[in-house]
Amino acid sequence: MKSYTFPDAKRRRYWMKKILWRHIVGIVVGIFAIFPLIWMASAAFDVTGQLSTQQLIPTHHGLSNFTDLFGNKEKPFFTWVRNSLVIAFAAAAMQIIIGAAAAYPLSRQKFKGRKVTLTMILIVQMFPQLLAATTLFLIINTFGKSFPFLGLGHQLPLILIFGGGALGVNTWMLKGFFDTIPSEIDEAATIDGASHFLIFSRIIVPLAAPVFVVTSLLSFIGILNEYLITSVILGLDGRNMTVAVGLQQFIYGQYGKNWGPFAAGALLATIPVFTLFIFLQRFLISGLVSGSAKG
């Protein structure tokens, strides 16, 4: 006699075998990703300011760490935030402009050496910025002797460095998206008399808005968190520092580490990124998966 399997039982077994493990992996990854943020928030409200006694739910909690952070005139937190936002927004915008200007002809034009150019851009991008720190310092120091506004301690040279720093990654990402836009659109616009600049600005840019948003956001986050090159170019002057460099002053040295204000500042520094995610979330999904059909 054959046994009959009810549809509900079959669906339940399918869910257990095919879907349940994905939920478990997602939950584990989510906990792994959010736990440092929760621990940082706990440290920010722990008035003891000691990592050795830090607990997930602090026994002695309060706002003294935020008071110390805002009231320290030698470590102007809000000035650091302003510097960080100015540099990050300006450099991210420059990265998008340069990356789009490089990716569009590489996507649409077929010329000799195109593959070699793409390969060389990617290879150069593979070298870490640590290797260029000394060279960048010497270059900016030399420029500063003739043009003070391009010297050490100024934001403009740092913006220029970051503006071209992600050329390889952004070019590849934007090119992948441009490849998914049918070239027939360009041909039809060319027949109607549109120039390459008009096609790019009026047709390609609106269609590529999702990937521009994703690339801008990734660039913004990377620049906001960058420490090495920023500290080399801007130095350790309290008025010129960014948040990433400035907060390190609270835990600098062997003694007197103020982990409480450091955690409070790090927690507040996540607000701009979180705000951008909220406002730009409708572009993120389509932008992250864009360019997957063609390379």
DSSP 117-163: HHHHHHHHHTS-GGGGHHHHHHHHHHHHHH-GGGSTT-HHHHHHHHH
- Three-class SS of residue 46? strand
pLDDT band at 69 (very low <50, low <70, confident <90, very high): confident
Residue that has been written with the tokens 């010129």 in this structure: 240
Q: What is the pLDDT of residue 294?
A: 44
Greater confidence (100 vs 15) lies with: 100
CB-facing half-sphere around the CA of 211: CA atoms within 13 A = 26
Q: What would the mean pLDDT of 89-106 be, rounded to a whole number?
A: 88
Q: Domain-by-domain residue ranges, the chain?
A: 7-62, 75-289
What is the DSSP code string of 212-270? HHHHHHHHHHHHHH--HHHHHHHTT-TTT--HHHHHGGGG-SSS---HHHHHHHHHHHH
62-76, 193-207, 213-227, 245-259: the lowest-pLDDT one = 245-259
148 pLDDT higher than 80: yes
Most confident of 10-19, 217-226, 231-240: 217-226
Length reported for the chain: 295
Residue 256: pLDDT band by 50, 70, 90 thresholds? low
As a whole number of angstroms, the distance between CA 173 and CA 295 comes to 9
User: Of 128, 140, 142, which is closest to residue 233 (Cα–Cα)?
Assistant: 140
Q: What are phi and psi of 256, to 5 degrees?
A: 70, 35
Least confident of 137-141, 166-170, 253-257: 253-257
pLDDT at 254: 53
Mean pLDDT, residues 123-132 taken together = 76
101 or 51, greater pLDDT: 101
Give the pLDDT confidence score for residue 295 in this predicted structure.
43
156 pLDDT more than 60: yes
More confident residue, 43 or 17: 43
Please tell me the distance from the alpha carbon of residue 221 to that of residue 218, in angstroms, as a whole number: 5
Q: pLDDT tens-digit profile of 172-217?
A: 888 888 888 888 888 888 888 878 888 888 888 888 888 888 888 8
Give the 3-state DSSP-derived string for 47-82, with helices as H, strands as E and coil as C.
Answer: CCCCCCCCCCCCCCECCHHHHHHHHCCCCCHHHHHH
Q: How far apart are CA 92 and CA 224, in angstroms?
A: 10
pLDDT at residue 65 above 50?
A: yes
Task: Between 18 and 139, name the one with better pLDDT.
Answer: 139
Averaged pLDDT score across all residues of the chain: 80
First to last CA, the chain: 56
Would you identify the CATH topology of the domain 75-289?
A: MetI-like fold (1.10.3720)
**Mean pLDDT of the region 267-275:** 86
Q: What is the identity of the amino acid at 38? A: I
Average pLDDT over residues 19-38: 86
Contact 212, 116 (CB under 8 A): no
Q: Can you say how many angstroms the Cα of residue 147 is from the centroid of all Cα atoms in its chain?
A: 30
Residue 124 has pLDDT above 80, yes or no: no
pLDDT at 86: 92
